[in-house]
Structure 1
Amino acid sequence: MSGSIEGAVGAAVGLQQAIAMQEKDNLLLRKVLDGQANTILSLVNSVPTAPQLATSGMVGTLLHTTA
């Protein structure tokens, strides 16, 4: 009988350790993903906006070209 109790206790302890490791890994993954999201957001924000078309005058109001 004591063997089955020891086995059950050992299994419970093993599961607790596995759950703790999984939670630690999940936290690390969340931090990595947050860091990547911040990097991507800063890259997107660093892209200059497209030049605006002219709204008045003889040049640039009908056809917009850039060299």
Structure 2
Amino acid sequence: MDMSVESTVSAALSLQGFNAAQEQQNVLLRKVLDNQAQTIASIMDSMPKLATFGSVGTQLHVTA
């Protein structure tokens, strides 16, 4: 019975370590995704604005 308690404690400690590592990876992933979102937003903001009224640049004619 003593061995089962030790193995249970060992398994619990292993799971805690795994959860901590997983949480660190999730934090890193969130930082990378936030950084990419900021980069894309800055690229989109630097692009010239398209026309919103008038006949030039506001209509798309497509022939299939």
TM-score (norm 1): 0.74
User: If you compute each CA radius of gyration, which structure gives the higher value, 1 or 2?
Assistant: 1
Structure 1 vs Structure 2 CA RMSD: 2.1
| One-letter identity of the residue aligned with 1:5 | V
**2:11 paired with 1:18:** no
Aligned equivalent of 1:29: 29
Aligned equivalent of 1:44: 44
Count, aligned residues: 57
Percent identity between matched residues is 46
TM-score (norm 2): 0.78
Distance 1:52 1:9 in 2: 65
Distance 1:50 1:44 in 2: 12
Runs of 4+, deviation exceeding 6 Å? none
1:21–1:52 distance in 2 versus 1, CA, 3 Å: closer
Per-residue CA deviation, residues 11-56 of structure 1 (Å, 9 max, x unaligned), is 00000000000100000000000000000000000001135778xx
